[in-house]
Amino acid sequence: MDTIQIVILSSIIIILAFVIRGLTGFGSGLIMVPLMLLFLDIKIVASIAAVFAVPSGIMLIFTFQTRKWIRKDILPMLISGAIIGTIIGTYIIASYKSDILKKAFGIFLVLYALKMLFWNKNKLKDPNKYYGILAGFLGGTLGGMFSTGGPPVVIYLNSITNDKKIFRSTILFYLLVVNTWQLITYIYSGLITTNVLILSLYLAPAFIIGSLLGSLIHIKINDSLFNKVIALVLLITGIKIII
């Protein structure tokens, strides 16, 4: 596959990924990483996802009065766990072979997709700080490894709130802080190379279009059906990566 084909295919994937993030507050990595892994190395894909995550978070938080719905009381728990987890995840991706990491990610993806499809969640009355720290730690570790740190925090937030605006706003702010820290660790580890920055520059219009489009239509989307479709896509992609 030549450079032009990589840019075109990656742009389509990135638009879809950031439309999803604009709609839900998370999920760009869950779509972008597994699909781009089909033709790019995991270190390149994870690094590009990290480069785009920070400006996307800023863009989405400062649109549609998103900031006023943030649950500030639970953010310290999530962020403190994520800082430690991100360091561990970044060390793992920088130290081990990509083929092993791809299979591990594929297994994780399948399990998470099955959870989305079949696991009925019971809502908790009050946030538990220990669950919050654990969710942040797991999210940071997965984010450092695959730039997909949202799922553990998504599960935690879903357990403490039914309000879509609160959920979206809080995870956007959490991910902005975590993704900024993650990007710093990637730079320090040497993962953000000149080639990654050049490819990211080519793909920048796609991430901007996707983020803006997603933030414009997030209010009208049917979350239940949409999440089932996403789960099926993730399940198929995860199985293909494992095979």
pLDDT of residue 147: 61
* Rg, C-alpha atoms of the chain: 17
CA–CA gap between residue 115 and residue 120 (Å, rounded):
8
CA–CA gap between residue 181 and residue 149 (Å, rounded):
12
CA–CA gap between residue 141 and residue 153 (Å, rounded):
12
Sign of the alpha-carbon dihedral angle for 218, 222, 224, 225 = negative
How crowded is the C-beta side of 55, counted as CA atoms within 13 Å? 15
Judged by DSSP in three states, 114 sits in helix
Model confidence over 76-93: pLDDT tens digits? 889 999 888 888 887 777
pLDDT of residue 124: 54
Secondary element (H or E) of residue 197: helix 194-217
201: which 2 tokens?
């520059």
Mean pLDDT by groups of 10 residues along the chain of 243 residues = 90 94 82 89 90 92 80 89 84 70 80 80 63 87 71 80 81 89 89 94 95 84 71 80 78
- The pTM score is 0.78
**Residue 98, burial from CB neighbour count under 10 angstroms (0-12, 13-18, 19+):** middle
pLDDT of residue 48: 94
140: which 2 tokens?
């940071």
CA–CA gap between residue 133 and residue 75 (Å, rounded):
10
